[in-house]
Amino acid sequence: MRKFLNYFETNKRKRLPSSSLIPHNDSTLLFTNAGMVQFKNQFTALEESKYKLVTTSQKCVRAGGNQNDLENVGYTARHHTFFEMLDSIQQAWNLLTKDFGLPKERLAISVLEGDEGEVKLGFQMIKLSIPCVDTGLGLERMATVLQEKTTNYDIDLFQNLINSFKEQVMIDPPKAFIQCFIL
């Protein structure tokens, strides 16, 4: 994550901290469910933005609504209710393919039909009063690819949690049990 954020800072982005998991002054959301939530007032022209270009690693909770991953938690090894969302696009592509050395043929990009030439990753189009591109790249999923692991639960982040769990309960349960427990 540090390399991701540092990369964008060197490309003229202002690094901002993760906002609260409980959105401030927003009765439409119970939890912060995307990296763009902290910028909602700027996108809807309720506030003027202090910065034109930013990068963040936003802590997110998804447990309902349009971006609900809850029904997939426990059934896939890549869906979580809590994760960190990384943002930006052209520089993200350069970071993944040049700095991290990932082969372009291993990466997939979705393009919103009818988009005026700008590539956007994601599922929904929301009318905004200012231009915005959101990569929507999950930290855990990126770590899985970079560490050449099969599932998110095999990355160092989760392995540290699993090992701490093992030490606390002083047992070494089968791997399948640990994955089910953490899901």
Residue type at 24 in one-letter notation: H
Q: Are residues 155 and 140 in the same domain?
A: no
CA-wise closest residue to 168 among 153, 154, 178, 176: 178
Q: Are residues 58 and 115 in the same domain?
A: yes
Q: Are residues 41 and 97 in the same domain?
A: yes
Predicted pLDDT at 172:
67
Backbone angles phi, psi at 67, to 5 degrees: -100, 45
Q: Are residues 48 and 123 in the same domain?
A: yes
Predicted pLDDT at 72:
76
Number of structural domains found in the chain: 2
Predicted pLDDT at 58:
85
Q: Are residues 136 and 89 in the same domain?
A: yes
120: tokens are: 């956007």
The pLDDT tens digits along the chain (183 residues) read: 788 788 888 888 889 999 999 998 888 888 888 888 888 888 788 888 888 888 888 888 877 666 566 777 777 776 777 666 665 566 777 788 888 888 887 776 654 455 444 444 443 445 555 666 566 677 887 888 889 888 888 889 888 888 888 888 877 656 655 554 443
Structural domain boundaries enclosing 170: 150-183
Predicted pLDDT at 78:
67
CA-wise closest residue to 183 among 79, 105, 112: 79
80 in Cβ contact with 74 (< 8 Å): no
Q: Are residues 114 and 135 in the same domain?
A: yes
